[in-house]
Copies of this chain bind each other. A is one copy, B any other.
Amino acid sequence: MRFSGLALKNLKPVIKVLPPGPLSREVVNEEYKLLFPPPRLYSIAVDSASNHLIKDLDGNMYIDFTSGGLECSLGHSVEIVAEKFGFKSQPLTSIDLERTTTATAVRLARRLTHLLKLKPEAYKLFFGVTLEDCVEVAARILEEYSGKRVFITTSHGYYGETSLCATLSGKDNPRREDGSATVIHAPAPYCYRCVFNVNPSECDVECVDFIENFIFENVVSVEEVAGVFIEPIMVRGGCIIPPEKYFRRLNELVEDYQITLIANEADVGLGRTGSWLASKRLGLKFHGVILKSSLAGGLPLSALIGESAVLNSVKYWAYPRRFHPTSCLAALQVIEYMMEHRIPENANKQGLLLKKKVNELAEEYDRIGDVRGLGLLVGVEIVENKLEKKSDSSMALKIVRECARRGLMLSVCGKSTVLFAPPLSVDAETVEESVTIFEGALGEVID
Contact = CB atoms under 8 A, between A and B. Distances in A.
Contact of A197 (B94, B132, B196, B330): B196
Contacts of A316: 175
Contacts of A356: none
Contacts of A188: 218
Interface stretch (A59-67, A251-259, A281-289): A59-67
A59 to B, nearest CB: 12
A317 B222 CA distance: 17
Interface in A301-358: 316, 318-320, 322, 324, 326, 329-330, 333-334, 336-338, 343
Given A182-B179, A218-B155, A412 B67 contact: no
Given A74-B334, A99-B409, A214-B195, A299 B11 contact: no
Interface string A62-90: 11111111111111111011001111110
Contacts of A66: 409-411, 419, 421
Given A67-B422, A434-B63, A297 B72 contact: yes
- Majority SS of interface residues in chain A? loop
B430 A185 contact: no
A397 interface: yes
Choose among A52, A300, A401, A419 the residue with the greatest number of B CB atoms under 10 Å from its CB: A300
A192 to B, nearest CB: 14
Interface residues of A, number: 148
Contacts of A140: 163, 175-176
Contacts of A64: 409, 423
A93 B214 CA distance: 38
Contacts of A293: 71-72, 94
Interface stretch (A14-22, A103-111, A114-122): A14-22
Contacts of A408: 13, 62-63, 65
A204 to B, nearest CB: 9
Give the top 6 A-B pairs by smallest Cβ distance, nearest first: A13-B407, A86-B88, A93-B298, A179-B179, A94-B298, A180-B180
15 contacts: A11-B430, A13-B407, A41-B397, A41-B411, A65-B434, A74-B424, A78-B297, A78-B337, A85-B330, A87-B88, A132-B133, A155-B214, A170-B219, A177-B220, A300-B324
Interface of A: 11-15, 18-19, 41-42, 44, 51-52, 54, 60-78, 80-81, 84-89, 91-94, 96, 98-100, 129-130, 132-133, 136, 139-140, 147, 149-150, 155-156, 161-165, 170-172, 174-182, 185, 187-188, 195-197, 206, 210, 213-214, 217-221, 224, 235, 266-267, 270-272, 292-294, 296-300, 316, 318-320, 322, 324, 326, 329-330, 333-334, 336-338, 343, 397, 400-401, 404-412, 419-427, 429-430, 433-434, 437
